Structure formats: structure tokens, C-alpha cells
């Protein structure tokens, strides 16, 4: 990312301060320069010395403690930052900032900065859901602040719900993505459409046919494409995964819905990466009412769904088209056959019978097959790293076409 980017981290008082210490460490390890401002309450949880050791910079806690007589500290810090991150941000700090109150080092510097301001709330689930807090967040969003939504989980107060500070690793990735997009990644200016997850094909209002896909691979591709500068649209079947940062997400249920949403956007794309596990068959006559249990066997008449990838291959003009092939045997042979039949530019195969390479796994073992018959066989890696390998291959093809 060129010269070191400068992160000003504002830490307010809550049990999540310990996560802010981990965040400081991870940001420093990722190559950012970090300076920390702490509120008086934050110092009750963790000593400023901890943040000083982790950031290798002075920690600021008092508006009137001018460490350098040549500058006014809060103005100098406000001008220094490339990004101002308040994490954890308590309801109190969010309320003060929304009201324009500057009564300590953190709020004074926040009001003085012209850098992008990101806020990562952390508080009790009921506090986060309070109308006043929601109103303050909405005000700050309209003022141009951006929020890293808290995740759900077990809170220190004993409740389970939304309110936990997002994990430091995720925050670091979001910051890296922000600066990569600013500088221009290998997919800057490109429009990428990704499909992900399973489809569900109803038998009746309570039963359906589906598959084991979770959408993890497609979501990883969409997230990494956005980090590499692309304008990304993700069309996903039912998946428990959260929307990737910086990605437009469209949620669908059936194969027919996925087809409609994909075709309606296809012409404007530079590349389409179809990782969704779309049902090949659906019930021919889904019922409008719940089917009652009967004695003996049950037969459900099935009909073919439209082959989305084949239709895209027939319609493509300038688009780069990438498909996936989940196989259990003769992987290269079947993948190349699919590439030729469906007029693809690349196909990514994986042997789902191999441990760590199947649905729901956080890792994948992929091979990228090209039109000329060559292939890049990659070792077992995280789905995020696999996504990057696929996208770098796509970026090279897009550059060659240009």
C-alpha cells in the first residue's frame, strides 16, 4: 500500500478495550502507523502503557497534556490521521459526537479531523437497540461517518446478542480494503458479478430440495474482488453469512430467481464468477399447501431447472465467464468438458471428496483450468486466499483482452 498509512485509534471505556489492544497490535503488524487516544474511562480497563508498547507511539489521554510545545496536540493528531477509527465506541461517545460535544481529548480530536471517521460500536444489546443510540448513529452516518457493525455473541454483561466489538482481524481487513480501493487494485474500474450459495426448490410451503453449499467460497470471492478495487454485485441463495463489506448483495431463493437476477445484470459486467450451487432439478408441481404424511413411499415428479452457466455462455459478448466444478472423480476431465460445453474462459475445480475441500469448510483445494488445457493446481489454502488466486487469474485475462 505504498507509504505507511496512519491510523488514529480512539479508545473509549468498555470491556472491549482489551480488543482494542489486540487491534493496535494487528494494525501495526499489518504495516500501519498507529497512534492512540484513550478516554479517562478506557484507562480504567487497560493502562495507556499497553497501547504505547503495542503502537510504539505516545498515547494521548488529556487535552491539556501537550507533549510537544510546537503544536497543539489535538489539532496535530487530527491533521496527522489518514483514518480515524473509534473502537470501541461506547453509547456515550457516540452520543457526544452526534451532538457536537467536545469535552475530552477523544471528542475534541474527532471534531477537528478531516480524515474519514469510522466508528465501531460496542455495548450492551439493549443499549445498542435504544432509540436514542439508533438516532445518534443515524445522525453520524448522515454526517459522513461510517460504522463497523457490532457482531452477535456472548456479551460481558451476560446477554447474548448484537453488541460485541467486531473482531480485530475483520477490522484490519476492512481498513486494508479501504486503502487498496483508494490506491487502485488490479480490478479497479471493473464490474464483477458473483453468484454464491445454494438454491432452495419448494415441494410445499414447509419442505424443499437443496444442497450442502454455504456460500463461503462465493462470499470470499466477492469480498476479495471488492478489496482489489472492483465494483461487485453478489447474488446469493440462502446463506447464514453476513454481507461482505463494500459489496452490493441480492438475496434469492430459487434457481429461477437467481437466473432472472443474473441475466438482468449480465450485459453490464466485465466478468461473471458463478460459484453458486444451483439446483439441477426442482419439483414440477410445488403445492400451495402443506403435504400430509401418508403411508407407503412418496414420489415427487422433478423437472430440470435452467442451466444458468450455459445460458450465460451462449449470451456472452465481452464478458469473462468463470465457472466452478465440484467433482468427486476424474476432476480434470469433467472440468474441461464443462468449460468447453458452456463456453467458459476459466473453470475452477475442486474434489469435494477430499477433506477440507468440500462444502462448509473454511479451506479449499482448487485447480484453475484454462481454455488451452493448462491448469494451475494449488495447495490447500483458505477460501479467501483461493479467491485471490482466482481473481488474479481473471485480472490477467481482463488486462490481456484490453
Q: Are 86 and 150 in contact (CB under 8 A)?
A: no
Distance of CA 397 to CAs 18, 208, 268, 391, Å? Answer: 45, 39, 18, 10
Residue 145 a catalytic site member: no
Annotated binding site: 280, 290, 324, 338, 342
What distance in Å separates the CA atoms of residue 166 and residue 141, rounded to the nearest whole number?
Answer: 18
Which of the residues 71, 156, 157, 206 is marked catalytic? 157
Per the annotation, binding residues for CTP are: 280, 290, 324, 338, 342
Q: Is the CB of residue 286 less than 8 Å from the CB of residue 271?
A: no
Phi, psi of 2 (to 5 degrees): 70, -140
CA distance 201 to 208: 5
Report in angstroms the alpha-carbon separations of 353 from 207, 322, 360: 27, 22, 13
SS3 content of the chain, % helix, strand, coil (to 5): 35, 25, 40
Pairing relationship of beta strands 6-11 and 146-147 according to DSSP bridges: unpaired
- Give the active site residues: 157
Amino acid at each position: 500500500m505504498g507509504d505507511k498509512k496512519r491510523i488514529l485509534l480512539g479508545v473509549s471505556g468498555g470491556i472491549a478495550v482489551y480488543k482494542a489492544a489486540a487491534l493496535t497490535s494487528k494494525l501495526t503488524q499489518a504495516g500501519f502507523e498507529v497512534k492512540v487516544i484513550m478516554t479517562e474511562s478506557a484507562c480504567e480497563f487497560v493502562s495507556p502503557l499497553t497501547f504505547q508498547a503495542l503502537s510504539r507511539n505516545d498515547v494521548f489521554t488529556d487535552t491539556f497534556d501537550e507533549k510537544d510545545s510546537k503544536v497543539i496536540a489535538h489539532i496535530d493528531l487530527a491533521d496527522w490521521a489518514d483514518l480515524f477509527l473509534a473502537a470501541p465506541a461506547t453509547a456515550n461517545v457516540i452520543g457526544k459526537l452526534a451532538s457536537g460535544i467536545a469535552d475530552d481529548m477523544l471528542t475534541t480530536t474527532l471534531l477537528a479531523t478531516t480524515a474519514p471517521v469510522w466508528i465501531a460500536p460496542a455495548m450492551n444489546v439493549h443499549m445498542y437497540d435504544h432509540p436514542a443510540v439508533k438516532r445518534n448513529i443515524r445522525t453520524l452516518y448522515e454526517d459522513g461517518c461510517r460504522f463497523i457493525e457490532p457482531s452477535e455473541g456472548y456479551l460481558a454483561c451476560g446477554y447474548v446478542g448484537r453488541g460485541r466489538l467486531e473482531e480485530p482481524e475483520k477490522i484490519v481487513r476492512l481498513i486494508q480494503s479501504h486503502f487498496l480501493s483508494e490506491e487502485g487494485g488490479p480490478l479497479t474500474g471493473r464490474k464483477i458479478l458473483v453468484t454464491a450459495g445454494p438454491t432452495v426448490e419448494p415441494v410445499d410451503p414447509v419442505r424443499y430440495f437443496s444442497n450442502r453449499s454455504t456460500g463461503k467460497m462465493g462470499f470470499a470471492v466477492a469480498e476479495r474482488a471488492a478489496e482489489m478495487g472492483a465494483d461487485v454485485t453478489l447474488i446469493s441463495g440462502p446463506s447464514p453469512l453476513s454481507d461482505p463489506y463494500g459489496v452490493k448483495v441480492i438475496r434469492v431463493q430459487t434457481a429461477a430467481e437467481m437466473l432472472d437476477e443474473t441475466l438482468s445484470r449480465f450485459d453490464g459486467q466485465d466478468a461473471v464468477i458463478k460459484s453458486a450451487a444451483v439446483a439441477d432439478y426442482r419439483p414440477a408441481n410445488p403445492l400451495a399447501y402443506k403435504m400430509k404424511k401418508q403411508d407407503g413411499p412418496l414420489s415427487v415428479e422433478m423437472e430440470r431447472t435452467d442451466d444458468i452457466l450455459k445460458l450465460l455462455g451462449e449470451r456472452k459478448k465481452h464478458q469473462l465467464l468463470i465457472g466452478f466444478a465440484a467433482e468427486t472423480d476424474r476432476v480434470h476431465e469433467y472440468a474441461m468438458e464443462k468449460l468447453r460445453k458452456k463456453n467458459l474462459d476459466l473453470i475452477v475445480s475442486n474434489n469435494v471428496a477430499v477433506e477440507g475441500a468440500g462444502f462448509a469448510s473454511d479451506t479449499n483445494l482448487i485447480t484453475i483450468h484454462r481454455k488451452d488445457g493448462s491448469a494451475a493446481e494449488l495447495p490447500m489454502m483458505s477460501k479467501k486466499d483461493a479467491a485471490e488466486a482466482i481473481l488474479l487469474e481473471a485480472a490477467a485475462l481482463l488486462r490481456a483482452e484490453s
